[in-house]
Amino acid sequence: MEIYKTQSQIAAKRNWILSLVVLVLITFGVLALTQGLALVLIPFMFDIPYDDILPLFEGQLDHPNGRAAMLFLQGLGGGLAYFLAAYLYIKLVEKADLDWKQQFNRVKFNGLLIIFPLLFGFILFDSAIVEWNMNISFPSFMSGFENFAREMEDKAMVLTKYLTDFQSPVEFLFGLLVIGVLAGIGEEYLFRGLIQPKFHRYTGNAHMGIWISAFIFSAIHFQFYGFFPRMFLGALFGYLYLFSGSLVYPMLGHVLNNSFTLIMVYLNKLGMVEFNMEEPDDFSWYTVLIGLIVFVFCMRIFIAQNRNVSSHGKMAEGI
């Protein structure tokens, strides 16, 4: 089960609204502060005038240091900010303990190895959900929302392509650090390490805790046409935590998932593979079926390896 030990009154079920309001305020406050700090530092560190920072947000800045500056902003005001917000809330507000010694003790070498084929199978299976989500059409009376969602998706894709259009191995490694490692660890620490056990406790149901946190995880990306595959991915990370009792597994899975995409994008740029984020290749149901079989098989092995972790379905420790 998840490890989240606290006896703080604000963590009690009866105070759930207050607890969530404080968490939201701290998270957005930290995001604002870290992004503000990044914006102050960018002109000095990357020699980019303040007047050029707005085009940087839109992925339209033609500057030799533009991509590095945007990655710096993403790292400081993204992955690190999520980690810092969760850490401040856990330590200062709820005075909770995630017992990292126990979390690391629950990690098994065979469990780490099985994450690779498990995630690969999930990606193959998830391609069907990606395809379905990208092609959702709304009735005419919802055309306003559809146009808004498409516009947000297009803007996000422009920025993503700008961020991942690495011009050198150094930029690629910087991208792996920011988008792969920092984002993976920071988001898992917040959404699986903190939010999931809180909703587990509030609802009294481990599955509700997983899916609510996965829903929030996907929603904060503000991309409807990637919402469902991202939510299922978040749920996968949630179940890895629930069945193992260690955040190491979902953190590793998240880092691998993000890094795999970046590696494929870079190899495509080098002409070594064909990979297009904007228009993914048509999937085949044969590939989806193989992915599902591999995923289910590996997930069963993972659960069996961790069956000694007590109380999968019980509430995280606390009031």
Closest CA to 241 of 197, 273, 293: 197
Helices (H), the chain: 16-46, 53-57, 66-74, 80-88, 100-105, 109-134, 143-163, 169-175, 183-190, 196-203, 206-219, 227-244, 248-269, 285-305
Facing residues of 5 across strands? 97
Facing residues of 97 across strands? 5
pLDDT digits (tens, 9 = 90+) for 154-174: 888 888 888 888 989 999 999
Contact 152, 223 (CB under 8 A): yes
Q: What is the mean pLDDT of the chain?
A: 89
**Residue-wise pLDDT tens for the chain (319 aa)?**
899 999 888 988 889 999 999 999 999 999 999 999 999 999 999 888 887 777 776 666 677 888 898 899 999 988 999 999 999 999 999 999 999 999 999 999 999 999 999 999 999 999 899 889 988 888 888 888 888 888 888 888 888 888 888 989 999 999 999 999 999 999 999 999 999 999 999 999 999 999 999 999 999 988 888 899 999 999 999 999 999 999 999 999 999 999 999 999 999 988 888 877 666 556 688 999 999 999 999 999 999 999 876 544 444 444 4
Estimate to the nearest angstrom the gap between the alpha carbon of 53 and the chain centroid.
26
Token pair listed for 208: 């509700």
pLDDT digits (tens, 9 = 90+) for 123-135: 999 989 988 998 8
